[in-house]
Amino acid sequence: MKEELKKIQESTLKKLSEVKGLEEIENIRVEVLGKKGGLTKILKSMGSLSQEERPIIGQYANEVRKAIEEKLEKTKENFLAFAKEKKLQSEKIDVTMPGKKTKLGHVHPMTQVIENIKNIFIGMGYEVVEGPEVETAYYNFEALNIPKEHPARDEQDTFYIEGEGEILLRTQTSPMQIRTMETHSLPIKIIAPGRVYRSDEVDATHSPVFHQLEGMVIDKGITMGDLKGALAVFAKELFGQDTKVRFRPHHFPFTEPSAEMDVSCFACQGKGCRVCKDSGWIEVLGCGMVHPKVLERCNIDPKVYSGFAFGMGLERIAMQKYSISDLRLLYENDVKFLEQF
């Protein structure tokens, strides 16, 4: 019997080492260990053994069974691992192929610049306000110290609207200074971005519709030093921390003293190039201390309060920032253009 057991062990182990599939392993298991399997049969016939032989053969039979079971299990595991490996290999893909993209849209470069600037000022405690584009001459001119006979009010610069009274398309965002002073309580710290209109034919650097951003601070004790400080912080945030600023005297009817702010040319770092016309500086905005007459007109006492205001054209900043050479591109809305931003 021991011989038989040994034989069955040897033949089974041999078969297992030659199997080619999981199914075969199962077949062998049934063939040997199943109810009607070879080993089971032998064990069933143990009853015919003598009292002395039984434990010895029994023990041996168990060893054989264990060996077969172990081998079965191991073979099965090997097969499973192999199959898994094979499956993974068959699933190999070319990871250098392009990904499936959900195409995102693009924010217009003007909006990006406006948002950028808005966020800088919001961070500095400014509130964003908006107002009408179709304006009265009072807000666009009179209240800003631009009297009737001023050349800025000429039809060649300003679009007028048919109707009663002097209605026009605002030529600047500065009317928002007046509207804010009339409606807000003091202190005031606002920016007002928006569309403005001037009678310029469309070309590479002009558009009859463009964007400006106005800013104004009114409080007790505001000085020209504060104006310089606020705008220097802004310029560094927008154009980079290495940016230098320069304030030059200028003239605006609604600020006094007035200035223009230049920033060091970001194309050449101030050395002089085509972008800055060899001056090393790029003009960015106009600013000044709010004119006392403007304050008075809005019922703010210039003896108690003072303030500064500034205004900038945004198209030019966008064009310089993104190296856009033709302003018309901004209003054409070619997706090939928009997708670059």
Partner 1 sequence: MDLPIKWLKEYVDYTASTKDYIEDITKAGQKVESVRELAGDITGVISGKVLEIAPHPDADKLVITKIDVGSGENLQIVTGASNLTVGDIVPVAMIGATVYHGDSLEKIKKGKLRGVESAGMLCSIEELGFTRHDYPEAPENGIYIFQEEVPLGEDVKKLLEMEDEVVEFEITNNRPDCYSIIGLARETAATYGVPLKYPEITLKEEGEGNSKDIIDVEILNPELCPRYIGRVVKNVKVEPSPLWLRHRLTAAGVRPINNIVDITNYVMLELGQPMHAFDIDTIDEAKIIVRNAKENEKITTLDGQERQLDPSMLVISDCNKAVAVAGVMGGENSKVSPGAKAILFESANFNGANVRITAKKLGLRTDASAKYEKNLDPNLALDAVNRAVQLVEMLNCGEVCKGMVDCYPNKREKWEVEYSTEGINKLLGTDISEKDMIDYLKLVEVEADGKKALIPTFRPDLVAECDLAEEVARFYGYDNIETTLAAGTPTVGKKTYSQQVEDKILSTLVSLGLSEAKCFSFESPKVFDKLNIPKESKLRDTVKITNPLGEDYSVMRTVSLNGILTSLAVNSGRRNPEAKLFEMGKVYIPKSLPLKELPDEIPTLTLGMYGKVDFYDIKGICEELFESLGIKEEYIPEKDITYMHPGRTAKITVNGEEIGFVGQIHPDVAENYAINTGVYTAVLNVAKITEFSSFEKHYEELAKFPSTQRDIAMLVKDEITVKEIEDVIKENGGKLLESIKLFDVYKGNQIQEGFKSVAYSITFRAKDRTLTQDEVVSPMNKILKNLESKLGAQLRDK
Residue list 239-268, contact with partner 1 (CB under 8 A): 246-251, 253, 256-260
Residues 125-184 that bind partner 1 (CB under 8 A): 125-130, 132-136, 149, 151, 154-156, 159-165, 167, 169
Rule CB under 8 A: choose which of 12, 172, 174, 306 binds partner 1.
Answer: 306
* CA 262-268-274 angle, 5° bins: 85
Does residue 228 bind partner 1 (CB under 8 A)?
yes
Rule CB under 8 A: choose which of 175, 189, 192, 263 binds partner 1.
Answer: 189
Q: How far is the CB of 233 from partner 1 (least distance, A)?
A: 7
Nearer to partner 1, 82 or 160 (CB): 160
Q: Phi and psi dihedrals of 16, rounded to 5?
A: -65, -35
Nearer to partner 1, 77 or 339 (CB): 339
- Answer yes or no: are the C-beta atoms of 188 and 226 closer than 8 Å: no
- Answer yes or no: are the C-beta atoms of 325 and 289 closer than 8 Å: no
Q: How far is the CB of 252 from partner 1 (least distance, A)?
A: 9
Tell me the number of residues near partner 1 by CB under 8 A.
89
Tell me how far the alpha carbon of residue 124 is from its chain's centroid.
21
Nearer to partner 1, 79 or 341 (CB): 341
Rule CB under 8 A: choose which of 108, 236, 316, 321 binds partner 1.
Answer: 108
Q: How far is the CB of 148 from partner 1 (least distance, A)?
A: 8
Q: How far is the CB of 246 from partner 1 (least distance, A)?
A: 7
Cβ-based neighbours of 121, under 8 Å, separated by 6 or more: 128, 191, 215, 234
Q: Phi and psi dihedrals of 164, rounded to 5?
A: -90, 140
* Region binding partner 1 by CB under 8 A among candidate stretches 30-38, 45-53, 78-86, 218-226: 218-226
Element (H, E) at 189: strand 188-197
Q: SS3 for 72?
A: helix
In the DSSP assignment, the letter for residue 163 is S
Q: How far apart are CA 158 and CA 135, in angstroms?
A: 11
Does residue 225 bind partner 1 (CB under 8 A)?
yes
Q: How far apart are CA 248 and CA 246, in angstroms?
A: 7
Q: How far apart are CA 104 and CA 102, in angstroms?
A: 6
Q: How far is the CB of 157 from partner 1 (least distance, A)?
A: 10
Nearer to partner 1, 76 or 184 (CB): 184
Rule CB under 8 A: choose which of 6, 44, 74, 195 binds partner 1.
Answer: 195
Please state, in angstroms and as integers, the Cα–Cα distance from residue 135 to each residue in 48, 154, 182, 333, following that order.
Answer: 117, 16, 15, 28
Nearer to partner 1, 43 or 287 (CB): 287
Element (H, E) at 336: helix 335-338
Q: How far is the CB of 15 from partner 1 (least distance, A)?
A: 49
Hey, how many other C-beta atoms are within 10 angstroms of the C-beta on 252? Answer: 22
Nearer to partner 1, 50 or 102 (CB): 102
* Region binding partner 1 by CB under 8 A among candidate stretches 23-31, 35-43, 84-92, 217-225: 217-225
Residue window 197-216: x/- pattern of binding to partner 1, with contact defined by CB under 8 A: x-x-xx-----xx-------
Q: How far apart are CA 300 and CA 294, in angstroms?
A: 9
- Answer yes or no: are the C-beta atoms of 33 and 69 closer than 8 Å: yes
Does residue 291 bind partner 1 (CB under 8 A)?
yes
